[in-house]
């Protein structure tokens, strides 16, 4: 993972070599927007501590990047192990997380440490921890509290030193109330919490991220780096980004491939037409207000009416 400088602000990324095979995550975060700068301060305070951390944020917003930064800033010498709880087999969840002894399964001549054992001395990142089956949640809490795990088929527990960083896109408190998440595990995780705002709530980060992705893909595809037009910038900042950073990356990649000049225009972004119309209205509104003639104001009213805004 690395920290770059983009527009004078830190950019958080990590190289492909550091990614877990199970990870398909947002590839960059910036700390330009005031909410992002506050998040970075909270992260830096939590990182050196040994407590577990719960990161809450929408899918594609960059939760794994925060987790990796926590691991790097903690100076833990072990590995960062990233696991998507939704990808864990319900049948073999016990063995996948905590490992198994030799001979526990047919054809298993050797033992396996499991994800927990692999993270010994380091950090275990559990994405969408709410997807873990309740019986496994109970065993996870016991492992964290007792600092030991018992592999499937083993007679004795093995000591482990693992820091847990978990992430969720849902409100775990509601899952606890519904009986779908272990209450004590929730309270254990709640000691250290980070809230990662959605990209639409970090408007100040959008253009910096867009410029970053534009530079990355231009270099990768050996293409000149176009400018993002003012109209396209407005459109990027106004879009709701339900897919967060991951969606922004895809939009910029697409725009680079379909743009024909030295500038990316709104039509290159492949975003909803309503948003493009809004940008057009804003541009004309500025022109009309600047001139202030009665005829132009009447034309503005017609434009707004045709757009369904009056």
Q: In the chain, which residues fall in CATH 3.40.50.300?
A: 2-197
- Euclidean distance between the first and the last CA atom of the chain, given in angstroms as a whole number: 49
Q: What is the pLDDT, as a whole number, of residue 100?
A: 78
Length, in residues, of the chain:
310
Interval 268-305: pLDDT, tens: 998 875 454 555 556 656 665 566 667 766 776 676 66
Of 20-24, 130-134, 253-257, least confident by mean pLDDT is 20-24
Question: Which tokens sit at 3?
Answer: 């920290």
- pLDDT tier at 28, thresholds 50, 70, 90: confident
- Looking only at the bridges linking them, the beta strands covering 80-84 and 123-127 are parallel
Across 253-258, average pLDDT: 94
**130 SS3 class:** helix
**What pTM did the predictor assign?**
0.78
CA–chain centroid gap for 23, Å, is: 11
Task: Report d(CA 204, CA 202) in Å as an integer.
Answer: 5
* Residue 247, pLDDT above cutoff 60: yes
Interval 203-224: pLDDT, tens: 999 999 999 999 999 999 999 9
Question: Which tokens sit at 28?
Answer: 């960059």
Q: What is the pLDDT, as a whole number, of residue 300?
A: 64
Could you tell me the fold of the domain covering 2-197?
Answer: Rossmann fold (3.40.50)
Among the listed residues 24, 139, 23, 133, the one whose alpha carbon sits nearest the alpha carbon of residue 81:
23
- Cα–Cα distance list, 186 to 66, 116, 148, 177 (Å): 20, 19, 19, 11
Residue matched to tokens 């804003």: 282
Could you tell me the fold of the domain covering 201-306?
Answer: Helicase, Ruva Protein; domain 3 (1.10.8)
DSSP letter string, 171-207: -HHHHHHTTSS-HHHHHHHTTSEEE---GGG-HHHHH
**227 SS3 class:** strand
CB-based burial of residue 224 (10 Å sphere; 0-12 exposed, 13-18 middle, 19+ buried)?
exposed
* Proportion of the chain above pLDDT 70, given as a percent: 77
Interval 52-104: pLDDT, tens: 999 999 998 999 999 999 999 998 999 999 999 988 888 888 888 888 776 56
- Looking only at the bridges linking them, the beta strands covering 9-13 and 2-6 are antiparallel
Q: What is the pLDDT, as a whole number, of residue 88?
A: 86
Helix residue ranges, H only, the chain: 34-46, 63-74, 93-98, 114-118, 134-146, 172-177, 183-189, 203-220, 230-238, 244-258, 273-291, 294-306
Q: In the chain, which residues fall in CATH 1.10.8.60?
A: 201-306
Phi/psi of residue 6, nearest 5 degrees: -130, 120
DSSP letter string, 207-219: HHHHHHHHHHHHH
């Amino acid at each position: 993972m690395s920290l770059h400088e983009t527009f004078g602000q830190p950019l958080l990324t990590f190289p492909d070599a550091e990614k877990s095979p199970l990870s398909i995550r947002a590839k960059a975060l910036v700390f330009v927007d005031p909410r992002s700068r506050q998040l970075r301060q909270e992260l830096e305070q939590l990182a050196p501590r040994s407590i577990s951390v719960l990161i809450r944020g929408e899918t594609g917003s960059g939760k794994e990047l925060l987790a990796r930064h926590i691991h790097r800033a903690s100076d833990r010498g072990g590995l960062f192990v990233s696991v998507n709880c939704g990808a864990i087999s319900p049948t073999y969840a016990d063995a996948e997380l905590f490992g198994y002894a030799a001979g526990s399964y047919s054809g298993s001549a050797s033992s396996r440490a499991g994800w927990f054992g692999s993270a010994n001395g380091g950090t275990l990142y559990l994405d969408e921890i709410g997807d873990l089956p309740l019986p496994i949640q109970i065993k996870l809490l016991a492992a964290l509290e007792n600092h030991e795990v018992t592999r499937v088929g083993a007679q004795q527990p093995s000591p482990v030193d693992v820091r847990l960083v978990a992430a969720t896109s849902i409100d775990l408190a509601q899952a606890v109330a519904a009986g779908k998440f272990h209450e004590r595990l929730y309270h254990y995780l709640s000691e250290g919490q980070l809230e990662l705002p959605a990209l639409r709530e970090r408007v100040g980060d959008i253009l910096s991220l867009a410029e970053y992705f534009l530079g990355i893909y231009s270099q990768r595809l050996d293409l000149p780096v176009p400018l993002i037009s003012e109209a396209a910038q407005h459109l990027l900042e106004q879009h709701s980004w339900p897919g967060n950073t991951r969606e922004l990356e895809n939009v910029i990649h697409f725009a680079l491939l379909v743009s024909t000049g030295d500038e990316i225009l709104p039509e290159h972004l492949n975003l909803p037409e309503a948003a493009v119309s809004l940008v057009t209205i804003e541009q004309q509104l500025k022109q009309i207000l600047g001139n202030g003639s009665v005829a132009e104001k009447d034309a503005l009213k017609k434009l707004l009416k045709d757009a369904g805004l009056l």
